Amino acid sequence: MKKILVAAAAALAMLTVTGCDDASTDAPPAAADGGAHQGGDDNAPCDLVEAAEVAAILGETPKPQRNGANPGGRLCLWDRADDKQSLWLQQLAPRSNPAQHLNGYGWTEEAFTRWADSEAEPVDGLGDKAVYETKDQMGGGGKEFSLAVLHHGERVFVLEVHAKGSNGSEADAVLDKLRPVAAKIVERH
């Protein structure tokens, strides 16, 4: 999960530098409300979830903020109006090393396991493999709840809830909210 933090920090830095308003997003108009749309980019994280699914996690449906490409893949953010919680969805870039991957383009379960933090707990029944972890939020003052899922042996997506002021006691409740959304992403894509 350390690699998630590095990618997320790089993405956040890029968002800070480039800004993130409607004019700078690469979201097609049908996805601008935070919902999935037909015929969209299958790797665009804002298109992987529907507005109601974001609301089920955050309790409201904020407008998505998208940063298209970043060093770790592609990222979409939703911030609650009270700024106490945010949802991050990152679609990690496929790996492309034919010597390490049978199909020459993608992730293997072994590569996913090596990439995941050793303290992450396995989550059964999601994609090819899934792990969940709670850690201190960068900068302190809260927790980060992260569910990473390997899907079709080539794609990895990561759902993260960042909660300011959290002591982590709601880790199970957050996983209960993230799990059905992750299952729907796997089902649809």
Q: Which of 29-38, 40-49, 79-88, 98-107 has the highest mean pLDDT?
A: 79-88
Alpha helices in 63-167 (DSSP H): 109-115
Pairwise CA distance, residues 32 & 25, whole Å: 9
Alpha-carbon distances, residue 124 vs 57, 148, 167 (angstroms): 20, 12, 25
Whole-number mean pLDDT of the chain?
75
Confidence at residue 32, expressed as pLDDT on a 0 to 100 scale = 33
Task: Place 47 in a pLDDT band, splitting at 50, 70 and 90.
Answer: confident
Torsion sign, CA atoms 80, 81, 84, 90? positive
Q: Report the pLDDT value the prediction gives residue 88, as an integer from 0 to 100.
A: 93
pLDDT of residue 98: 47
Burial of 68 (0-12, 13-18, 19+ CB in 10 A): middle
Q: Which band of pLDDT confidence, cut at 50, 70 and 90, is reported for residue 166?
A: very high
Beta bridge partners of 160: 88, 146
pLDDT given for residue 1 in this prediction: 43
pTM above 0.75, yes or no: no
Chain centroid to CA 94: 14
Distance CA 59, CA 11 (A): 24
Domain carrying residue 181: 2-188
The pLDDT of residue 123 is 96
Local confidence band at 53 (pLDDT 50, 70, 90 cut-offs)? very high
Number of domains in the chain: 1
